[in-house]
Structure 1
Amino acid sequence: MTYFETGRDFIRREGRLLEQRLFATIFEQADPTGVVDALRGYQNPDGGFGHGLEPDKRCPDSLALDVEVALQNLAAAGMVDVPMVSRAADWLQATASSDGAVALASSAIEAYPRAEHWSDWAYAPGLNPTAGIAGLLHQLGIEHPWLDRATEWCWSSLEAGLPEDGHALLEVTVFLEHVPDRERAESYVEPIREWLPKVSLYRADADDPSYGVTPLWFAPTPSSLWRRLFTDEQIQGHLDRLERDQQPDGGWALTWQPPGQAATLEYRGVMTLKALEVLRAYS
C-alpha cells in the first residue's frame, strides 16, 4: 500500500469524526457541509470554540486557539458557514483586549488535563494567535468590526518588529498571505527571509528530530506566498523526511506528549491529515 492509502486508513481507524469528514472533503470530493456539521459540536453558546478542538488541552471553555483551529478546518474544506464564523468573531470581540489582540488560552485550562507546555505563558494577548485568526478570517471573506481592529493592531505590532518565536512568525505569515493590502504584505517577504533563521523553534534541518516549525509549515503548498523563501533542495529534504516519518500503523508520530491516549490519537489524526495534504500538494 502507498503512504496515502495507509495514512487514509489510519484516519479512518483512529481519527476523530472531524478529521474523517475533512479527509473525505479534501480527497474524496465529499460535501464540505460535513466538516461544518462536525465543528458544531465544538462551538459553545457564547460563540467561541472549545471542548478540546485543539487536542492538547481538554478544556470545554471557549478559547481563541480553538477558534483558530475551527477556522483552519473551514479554510481547508473550502467552506464558510457565515453565521457560525460571525458568532465566533463576536466572541473574539467580546474577549479581546482594548486594542483587539487575543490570547491563545486562559486560566480556565488549569482545571482540566492538558499538555505540560500549556501554562500561563499562553494567557497574554499577542500575534500568536491574533495574526493567524485575522488572516484566516480574511481568507474566508468575513467582515467584522473585530477583524478591522485586529488587522490594525497586527500592522502596528509588525511595525515594531518581527516576532522572535517560530510559532508567532508562522501566524504572521498567515496574516500577510491573506490580508487585503497586498503591497504592504509583500514588503515583508524579504525581511522575513532574513529573520527566519534567527527565530526560536524553527527547524531548518530536515534531519533534526526535535520539535519545531519547518519550511513545509510556512509553505504547505507550492503556491504559497512563502514558498519563495526556500530552495528546492530545502523543500525536497523536508518532503523526504515527512514521508520517512510515517509510522508502521500509517499515521505520523508526535514530537511532544499530549495529556492522554485519546488526545494522542486525536492529534496524530490531525498531523496525519496535514502530512497527506502537504505530500499530495507537492506530488
Structure 2
Amino acid sequence: MEIFAAGREFVRRDARLLERRLFARLFEGADGAGVLDALRGYRNADGGFGHGLEPDKRSPASTALDVETAFDVMLAADVRDDELIGGACDWLQSVATPEGAVSLCNPAIEGYPRAEHMSEWTYAPALNPTAGLVGRLHKLGFEHPWREQAGEWCRGELAKGLPEDAHGMHEALEFLEHEPDVDLDQVRDWLPKLSMYRANADDPSYGVTPLHLAPTPDSRWRQLFTQEQIDGHLDRLLADQQDDGGWAITWEPPGPMATLEYRGVVTVGALRSLQLNGRLSID
C-alpha cells in the first residue's frame, strides 16, 4: 500500500492533467471519457497530435511520436475514439512517403525547446515509429488505408532484417505481434546485439528492458525471457521509486516542467506495470 499511496500522491501533486485522468481511470474506476477529453487538448486541426504530448519536444506541430503517444494512452485507458484515431491516421497518410513510412518528428521541432536527442535522426522515415503505429492500430481494432499500406512497407523492411537498436525492435515487435509467422528464435538471438537494450536489471543506465518489450504476463514476447529476468526488472522497478513517490528518468528533457511531466508519465506506467505483473497492492 505504501508504494501505491506514495505514487498516487506524486501523480496528484506533480503530474499533468492527462496522467491524473489516466491514473483515475486505471486505479480509481473513473470513466474513460475524461482521458479522451484531456487528449483532445493536444490535438491539432490537421488531425495529428502535438503540443508536447510526448514531453521531450515542446513544438505545437503534429508529429508521429505524439500520435503514437495518443494511441498508447487510449490503449492504457481501454478507450477508443474513432474520430480522434481516424483524424490521426489521415494526418499520418498525408505526411507519409509514397510507400507509407513516417518519421518520428519533423524540423518544426527546431523552433521550440527540445531534448538534445531530438535531432535530425528523428526526421527519417523508419520502422520506428511506422511499425509501432501500425501495431497499435491493430490493437485498437481500427482499420484505415494508411494502416494497410504502411503494414506492407513494414513487412518488406523486416524481411531485410531486424532493427539494430532496441527502440526500433520495440516498434517492430508491436507490429509483429499481429503477424502470424514470427521466428522467435531469431528474435531471441538478436536481442543481445541491440544497442540501448538493457537486459541486466542491475544496470542503472538508460535503455529498453524486457519489461518494455513484454509488459504483461500474457504478452506474446514474454517467452523470450526467463522468469528470473522479468522478476529482476520488477524488483528493480520497485526499488527505483523515489522519496517523493515518483519514478525518475534517465535522460534530460528540455526543462523542469518537461521533466516533471515525463516523471508523471513513467510513474503511472511503473504503477501499472507493477499491478499487471502482480507486484502492487492497492487495497
Report the residue type matching 1:68 in the other structure.
Answer: E
1:37 aligned residue: 37
Q: Counterpart of 1:154 in 2: which secondary structure? A: helix
**Superposition map of 1:107-256 within 5 A:** 107-177=107-177, 179=178, 181=179, 183-184=180-181, 187-256=182-251
Separation in structure 2 between the aligned mates of residue 105 and residue 47 of structure 1, nearest angstrom:
15
Partner secondary structure for residue 225 of structure 1:
coil
Residue aligning to 1:52: 52
Offset, 1:195: 0.5
- Measured after TM superposition, the shift of residue 220 of structure 1 is 1.1
Instruction: After TM superposition, list the pairs within 5 Å mapping 1:69-108 onto structure 2.
Output: 69-108=69-108
1:27-51 CA-to-partner distances (Å, cap 9, x unmatched) read 1111111111100010000000000
Residue deviations 1:89-115 (CA, integer Å, cap 9, x gap): 000000001110000000111100000
Number of the residue aligned with 2:281 = none
What is the CA-CA distance between 1:148 and the residue it aligns to?
Answer: 0.5
Report the Cα offset of residue 190 of structure 1. Answer: 2.2
1:166 alignment partner AA = A
Q: Distance in 1 between matches of 2:176 and 2:32?
A: 26
Q: Which amino acid aligns with 1:221?
A: T
Q: Does residue 268 in structure 1 map to residue 237 in structure 2?
A: no
CA–CA separation in structure 1 for the residues paired with 2:266 and 2:255: 16
Distance 2:11 2:169 in 1: 29
CA distance in 1, matches of 2:202, 2:2: 23
Letter in 2 for 1:243: L
Deviations 1:117-156 (A, max 9, x none): 0000000000000011100111111111100101111111
Q: CA deviation at 1:189?
A: 2.3
- Matches of 1:127 and 1:24 in 2, distance apart? 33
Q: Hey, what's the Cα distance between the residues in 2 that align with 1:160 and 1:103?
A: 19
Secondary structure of the 2:221 match is helix
Calculate the TM-score normalised by the size of structure 2: 0.97
What TM-score do you get using the length of structure 1 for normalisation? 0.97
Number of equivalenced pairs? 278
Letter in 1 for 2:145: P
Structure 2 CA distance for aligned equivalents of residues 194 and 212 of structure 1: 18
Output the CA distance in 1 between the equivalents of 2:3 and 2:241: 8
Match of 1:26 in 2: 26
Distance 2:14 2:33 in 1: 22
Match of 1:281 among 276, 279, 282: 276
Measure the CA separation in 1 of the matches of 2:152 and 2:85. 20
Q: Structure 1 stretches (4+) deviating beyond 3 angstroms?
A: none
